Structure 1
Amino acid sequence: MVVQHNITAMNANRMLGVTTNGQSKSTEKLSSGYRINRAADDAAGLSISEKMRKQIRGLSQASTNAQDGISCVQTAEGALTEVHSMLQRMNELAVQASNGTMSEDDRQNVQDEVDQLVSEIDRVSETTKFNETYLLKGDDSKVQISNKVYASPQMSLVEDAMADGSKLEVTTEMDATGKTVYTFTSGLKKDGTWAGKKIVDDSATPGAGEIKLADAKKDELAAMNKVITTYAGEMGINAVTLAEGDNNVTSTSQTFTYNDSVNLSLHVGADSASTNKISLDIESMSSDYLGVKGIKVSGKTAMQATGAIDTIADAVKKVSKQRSALGAVQNRLEHTISNLDNVVENTTSAESRIRDTDMAEEMVSYSKNNILMQAGQSMLAQANQQNQGVLSLLQ
């Protein structure tokens, strides 16, 4: 027997320390709910878990971004609903003013309401915004369309075919590619029926600067005459030919200026990839862009009112196209949100399996360590009592 070293007690104390350490970790895991509380618990698991957490939180915010996008789209679409309503009312007024029973004063009264509606369309375009972002006024980039109208009041086919004094017009405008497009339009009637013909010829090369018919170039005149001939052929009437120096033909110009479309880029992913962007373009919904600025339904005859019907119809198409695009984006965003929420749920489940404590399993470990700790304390006490037997040898 020895008294300098109590190996039995040392062994019991070492094992008690191991049990105490295990009990401490079990207590930490049970109290925090996490299996990994520090990198030492599971270095690789911690790295994987943190990457998943980044994705989960990023996707959760992306889902919120998409929700905000839907709110923005609904704001714009709601405003365009009213623009549609105003254009429908303007169409109703134009049809009313086109009736031959209307007097000039009656048409002027109708014109007053049309003017107010046009002003309201511009106000809606200028003031509709979401979170301080204007939605329907476009951005600061300006787009200009210049129209040059050539009217020939002496054309015999006008005098022969029309009773209301309507004029035939050749219009030239710059298209999106910078090419000049010539258009021949008229309120010409045949057999008392509204024709509404519009024929375009873009074969000619535009001249420089302001085009005056009195000194127009040959190719410009050729383009105009080609359109006139086509129009007259379809209507079954005689065509007139415009010639250089024809001073009986007058020229007017009108320029429309409006803002380019505003672009909203919605970020709907956790990463910076461009595929996580959903782009939304909203055109300027001003009266200039819609083509109804300065629209006229007044006058002694129904010509302006009748012509306004087609102009308003074109405006309705533009608003319908924009509302359709907004609706399509909203539907897409709703699917995007569903997908994001699904990915967040499944990724959270995977991250939970790595990071979270299995409470049932850990309680088994805790109970085991609790029993071992009590046994270890008891054994340590017993081991310390063993050396007391040495005293019996000294008696």
Structure 2
Amino acid sequence: MVVQHNMQAANANRMLGITSGAQAKSTEKLSSGYKINRAADDAAGLTISEKMRKQIRGLDKASSNAQDGVSSVQTAEGALTEVHSMLQRMNELAVQAANGTNSKDTDRKAIQDEIDQLNTEIDRVAETTKFNEIYLLKGDDGEKTINMKAHDAGLKGTLTDNGDGTATFKMDELNFGDSVSIGGKNYTIGAADADVDAWFTANGTDVTDAANKKVTINGTEYTYAAAVAKDTTAHTGAIAAGWYAKTPTAPNDENATTTPDFANVAAIKTAVKAGATVKNGTKSITGMNDAKNNTTGAAAADGISDNDVTVISKTKAYDLAAKELLAANQIGDTEGNAKVGIDKNYAATDGANGNGTFYIKTGQSKVANTLSFSLHVGADADMTNKITVDIDTMNSANLGIKGLNVADKNGTAATYAIDAISDAISKVSSQRSALGAVQNRLEHTIDNLDNISENTSSAESRIRDTDMAKEMVNYSKNNILAQAGQSMLAQANQSNQGVLSLLQ
């Protein structure tokens, strides 16, 4: 028997220490709820868990970023809803102003006053709408020049907008006798003298000095009658050959000769060249009779009939069309850029040139740069986690309605304003559509981020969190082992008491 080394007690004490350590760890896990409280608990698990925690917290914040993005987009889109309402009202007012029953001095002025107020309010909304101190509809720093859309002034033809600030308008072909509406006025294309000569010899016209041929002149039908010689026996007189409005009858006076209204086709041509209108079947022609300037009275052709100011030459029609095209394309042009000409150098028409093809340089306006900001919607630094939101400045200059005027004399300006307002409505619709698309995308992004965060949290929980039921079993086991170890240590310490009996 030895007393220096009580191995039973030492062994019991060692095992008790192991059990106490395990019991302490179980207590820590149960009290903290984590089975990894220090790197020593699970070095690999800690690394994986912290990496997952970084992802989870990043995903949660990305979801919050996306929700803030939805709020900002909703703010901008809500403001544009009111801009849309104001533009619709302006369109209503422009349509009203285009009506010919309005008085320029009173009615159109009142309409213009309301349009001015609406324009000012659109600018104010664009200037003041903001989210978290970010102006959403004001644009960004710096300026850019934008081109307006080309307009055809309501003329019949084909407009081709090149998208680079230029356009081409090909007017429908005009021929003499055609009716054309320019600037709200109706005109008839008159025939030049050469056109008159050609018309009478054209296929299908069939106006010749032959018996019983018919032609309508200024609405009255004329019939060609052959000559009838004087009958000296019956003393019935004679009938000269020519065109008569009514069937000629022999005169009572044997010396009298019935004369026609027009002796022959040549006489009819002369009448047409003087401004008469001749119709044969479906074909018709109206002469110009353009010998003086209708404005000054001077003896100089101006492309306008001396008999009827609604009868104009083809080249005069092109000249008037060019002026209307320019007026229509000057709306919203704050830079004075709009031009219309007959060639690519924008040479002006002068009433004696032009072939129906017009080259248009569209109006321009200087506006603020597009506001662009990115929403970070991912946990990583990958640039694909950026969703960019672009919002153009939505003031009257960018919408092409700055300085819109409808208070002219005959409502033509209001008619052209309708097209400009339509373009503005389309531009706001396009911006709202883009914002709506971004909002829908962000909502899907939020759902996806929340789903990934939830699943990653579940995986991290399995690594990091304490299984309370399982750990309680371990705790109970270690508690029992600790109590047993204490009892065995006490028994081991008692085992050396037998030495005392040998020393007595």
The reply to whether TM is greater than 0.5 is yes
Q: CA deviation at 1:184?
A: 7.8
Label 1:91 to 1:292 Cα distance change in 2 as closer, same or farther (>3 A): same
Q: Which residue matches 2:411?
A: 302
Partner of 1:277: 386
Distance (whole Å) between structure 1 residues aligned to residue 377 and residue 70 of structure 2: 12
Q: CA RMSD in A?
A: 3.3
Runs of at least 5 residues in structure 2 that lack an aligned partner in the other structure: 156-160, 172-181, 189-320, 327-335
Q: CA deviation at 1:189?
A: 5.8
Distance 2:464 2:493 in 1: 42
- 1:137 to partner: Cα distance: 1.1
Match of 1:241 among 353, 359, 384: 353
Give the letter aligned to residue 4 of structure 1. Answer: Q
Q: Please state how far the C-alpha of 1:321 moved relative to its aligned partner.
A: 0.5
- Structure 2 counterparts to residues 102-113 of structure 1, below 5 A: 102-104=102-104, 105-113=106-114
Q: Describe how 1:132-171 pairs up with structure 2 within 5 A.
A: 132-145=133-146
Amino acid across the alignment from 1:220: N
User: In the alignment, is residue 220 of structure 1 matched against residue 345 of structure 2?
Assistant: yes
Which segment is superposed worse, 256-265 or 374-383?
256-265
Structure 1 residue 145, shift from structure 2 partner: 4.3
Query: Secondary structure, in 3 states, of the residue corresponding to 1:144?
Result: strand
Higher helix share: 1
Q: Distance in 1 between matches of 2:184 and 2:144?
A: 32
Q: Which amino acid aligns with 2:394?
A: M
Alpha-carbon deviations, 1:100-127, whole Å to 9, x = none? 1111121011000000000000010111
The higher radius of gyration belongs to 2
1:363-374 matches, within 5 Å, as 363-374=472-483
Higher mean displacement: 252-261 or 183-192: 183-192
1:100 alignment counterpart: 100
Counterpart residue identity of residue 345, structure 1:
E
Deviation at 1:143, TM superposition (A): 1.5
> Retained in 2: the 8 A contact 1:84–1:319?
yes
Offset, 1:25: 0.3
1:38 aligns with 2:38: yes
Residue 6 (1) aligns with residue 17 (2) = no
State the distance in 2 between where 1:167 and 1:347 align: 63
Hey, what's the Cα distance between the residues in 2 that align with 1:212 and 1:361?
86
Specify the alignment match of 2:496 in structure 1: 387
2:90·2:115 contact (CA, 8 Å) conserved in 1?
A: yes
Aligned twin of 1:20: 20
Tell me how far apart the structure 2 counterparts of residues 212 and 275 of structure 1 sit (CA, whole Å): 45
Of 333, 336, 339, 2:445 maps to 336
Instruction: Look up the match of 1:77.
Output: 77
Secondary structure of 2:420's partner?
helix
For 2:338 and 2:429, the matched residues in 1 are separated by 35
Query: Are the counterparts in 2 of residues 63 and 340 from structure 1 also a CA contact under 8 Å?
Result: yes
- CA shift digits 1:361-384 (9 cap, x unpaired): 000000000000000000000000
Q: Which has the higher contact order (CA 8 A, sep 6+)?
A: 1
Gap change, CA 1:191 and 1:68, over 3 Å in 2:
farther
8 Å CA contact retained: 1:146, 1:253: yes
Judged with a 3 Å threshold, the aligned counterparts in structure 2 of structure 1 residues 128 and 17 are, in CA distance, closer, same or farther, namely: same
Deviation at 1:274, TM superposition (A): 1.0
Give the corresponding residue for 1:232.
none
CA distance in 2, matches of 1:211, 1:116: 26
Match of 1:119 in 2: 120
CA distance 1:300–1:137, change in 2 (3 Å): same
C-alpha contact (below 8 Å) 2:399/2:423 kept by paired residues? yes
- Residue 90 of structure 1 corresponds to 90
Displacement of 1:255: 4.8
Q: Tell me how far apart the structure 1 counterparts of residues 42 and 57 of structure 2 sit (CA, whole Å).
A: 22
Shift of 1:325: 0.6
CA distance in 1, matches of 2:501, 2:384: 87
Distance 2:134 2:489 in 1: 75
Cα distance between partner residues in 2 of 1:27 and 1:191: 102
CA deviation digits over 1:74-107, x for unaligned, max 9? Answer: 0000100000000000011011111111111210
Check whether the contact 1:33–1:356 (CA below 8 A) recurs between aligned residues. yes
Q: Deviations over 1:322-367 (max 9, x none)?
A: 0011111101100000000000000000000000000000000000
CA contact (8 A) 1:268 1:278 kept: yes
- Change in 2 beyond 3 A, CA 1:287/1:373: same
Q: What is the rounded CA distance, in whole Å, between the counterparts of 1:33 and 1:146 in structure 2?
A: 65
SS of equivalent residue, structure 2 residue 141: coil
Whole-angstrom CA distance in 2 between matches of 1:57 and 1:211: 56
Residue 56 of structure 2: SS of its match in structure 1? helix
Cα 1:191/1:345, change in 2 over 3 Å: farther
* Equivalent pair of 2:146/2:398 in contact (CA under 8 Å): no
AA matched with 1:323: R
Displacement of 1:252 after TM fit?
Answer: 12
Q: Superposition pairs for residues 255-274 of structure 1, below 5 Å? A: 255-274=364-383
Question: Within 2, Cα distance between the matches of 1:167 and 1:91?
Answer: 16
Structure 1 unaligned runs (5+)?
150-165, 169-173, 200-208, 229-238, 244-250
Q: What amino acid does structure 2 have at the position aligned with 1:51? A: K
Count of aligned pairs between the two proteins: 338
Q: 4+ residue runs of structure 1 moved beyond 6 angstroms?
A: 209-213, 251-254
